[in-house]
A and B are shown apart, each in its own frame.
Chain A
Amino acid sequence: MTSRNGITEEYHTDSSSDFTEYWIDLFLGIKGHEYFCDIDEDYIRDKFNLTGLNQEVSKLSVLIDILTDIIDIESQPEDQRDALEHNARVLYGLIHARYILTSRGLNKMFEKYRNGDFGYCPRVHCQLHPLLPIGLNDQPRLASVKLYCAKCEDLYNPKSGRHAIIDGAYFGTSFPAMFFQNFPQAIPVHDRKIYTPRVFGFKLHDYSQLSRWRELQRNKLEKSLVQKGIDIYNKPGGFVIDEKEEIKN
């Protein structure tokens, strides 16, 4: 384990050196915190990045020192430790939302995305497409984190209750859009399949009418994209169109 800064080393020399745990590592190791990435200390130390966050948490500078291991929470008055730890976590989350929109943060999240750290889309037609975390709000304490699937462009609830209680503001509303602006190669080819319930082999009338109307909406979209000169045939941001169909057209 590499040292986050020189000062931490001194603080922890009394305990056996191999067991030195940094605040961020402890935070990331908490069950349910798997969606978070590791924020660079330089980013946390740069006050510019924290603009406005003093309105969300009190004692901002103490909290920054806790996150960067300059202050050990154990050295604080006992009756304040819980509140400090709680606020340190909130602060980490809020900085995280900003950090993952930076180039370094995006790269770290891309690795996590590739590892499937955010889980996979439960929709059968999405064929286990990896998900991305997203907030419904950028303000904390309004809604918990949701998961975005780029293949069906829809939002899902996290499977695990541990993830379902994480504040969505720690990821923010802009993250997936920023992610795909940066990694256009990660944009999937979309599937056009629609499921229509059948009874004894026959599609239910009202449901197939709805499926047809949805297909019509898609046809209109495809037509307008093609008119704009966009190639949508089996291309990222386009649709899966099998050969058979292509020959027919």
Chain B
Amino acid sequence: MSSGGEEGDYVPWIQQFCDLFGHDYFVPVAQEFIEDDFNLTGLSSQVPYYREALYTILDYQVDTIEDVTNGTSNSDKQDLPTKSLLSHSAELLYGLIHARYIISKPGLTAMASKFERNDFGCCPRYYCDGMHLIPCGSTDVPGQETVRLYCPCCNDIYLPSSSRYLNIDGSFFGTTFPGLLIKMFPEIENQCRIRINKVNQNELGLKLFGFRINESSISGPRMKWLRMHPKSIEQRHEFENCELSIPSEDEMDDEDDEDEDDDKTMASED
């Protein structure tokens, strides 16, 4: 697909971006998605040289200060971005569009095939037995945190194993994507359930010459709750009681939730 015509090896900007080192978590955003103004609502205020950045992504010729200096353009130098500023703006804009695209139907589907192909890597946790990871951001604001990986099996987030992803902005994947992916593709939860059922929770924890460390010892187990699943009848019952809040029946020091917005939950679509 060469729109340049004169050069056979013309590579569209989006393709170039996705081929860059460390950019393999990204999917190419469909041209139609970018061309629909509705999808770009609010982005113009977040990206400097928004118009120029958008044209760059869509492979239109955009003049830069360097072009004027070289005499290849007659535009007014004052309003133009430098080459590096433009390329930074284009990458930022693409990232923000990408975060929106991957929570739209075609984007979600494209990311689901990458997930299936294990493009995002496996959970490093031993008991997750190679469960595939899902990229995400801890915030939707760009420039805050780098990309993280969510494991739907242990419900935790991990740092990518390779340093090549250390400068990939997490907001380019966003906070909503992992939750939406697991809800839209129930097969993912099935894969997790199989793995969770294989693990015997009572077998976990450090041992010294075959003996488990006592709970009241300072090196005793403190984190079992983090990976636990309700399995016994009592646990299932207890779990039912956690539907809206943590029950305080046995005078649990009336511990407050860590997050105030805990009741702001959304029903799952199953």
Point out the residues of chain B lying under 8 angstroms from A155, CB to CB.
Answer: 125-127
Interface residues on B, range: 35 or more
Distance of A184 Cα from B246 Cα, bound (Å): 33
Cβ–Cβ contact A195 & B238, under 8 A: no
Pick the contact of B238: A177, A216, A237 (CB < 8 A).
A216
- The distance from the CB of B17 to the nearest CB of chain A, in whole angstroms, is 26
Cβ–Cβ contact A153 & B176, under 8 A: no
Interface residues on A, range: 35 or more
Q: Which of B23-31, B65-73, B221-229 contacts A (4 or more CB under 8 A)?
A: B221-229
Pick the contact of B178: A154, A194, A197, A218 (CB < 8 A).
A197
Cβ–Cβ contact A157 & B225, under 8 A: no
Q: Determine which residue in A187, A212, A217, A249 has the highest number of CB atoms from chain B within 10 A of its CB, and name it.
A: A212
Point out the residues of chain A lying under 8 angstroms from B208, CB to CB.
Answer: 174, 177-178, 181
Minimum CB distance partner of B243 in chain A: A209
Per-position binary interface string of chain B over residues 226-270, scored 1 when its CB falls under 8 Å from any chain A CB and 0 otherwise: 111110000100110011011100101101111001101111100
Kindly state whether residue B218 has any CB partner on chain A within 8 Å: yes
Q: Which of A17-25, A35-43, A122-130 contacts B (4 or more CB under 8 A)?
A: A122-130
Distance of A157 Cα from B123 Cα, bound (Å): 9
Work out how many contacts link A and B, with CB atoms closer than 8 A: 186
Kindly state whether residue A210 has any CB partner on chain B within 8 Å: yes
- The distance from the CB of A147 to the nearest CB of chain B, in whole angstroms, is 8
Query: Interface residues of A: mostly helix, strand, loop or mixed?
Result: mixed
* Interfacial residues, chain B to chain A (CB-CB below 8 A): 124-127, 138, 148, 150, 154-159, 161, 175-176, 178-180, 182-183, 205-210, 213, 215-230, 235, 238-239, 242-243, 245-247, 250, 252-253, 255-258, 261-262, 264-268
> What are 10 A-B contacts defined by CB distance under 8 Å?
A122-B158, A123-B159, A154-B226, A157-B124, A194-B226, A202-B264, A202-B265, A215-B257, A219-B253, A221-B222
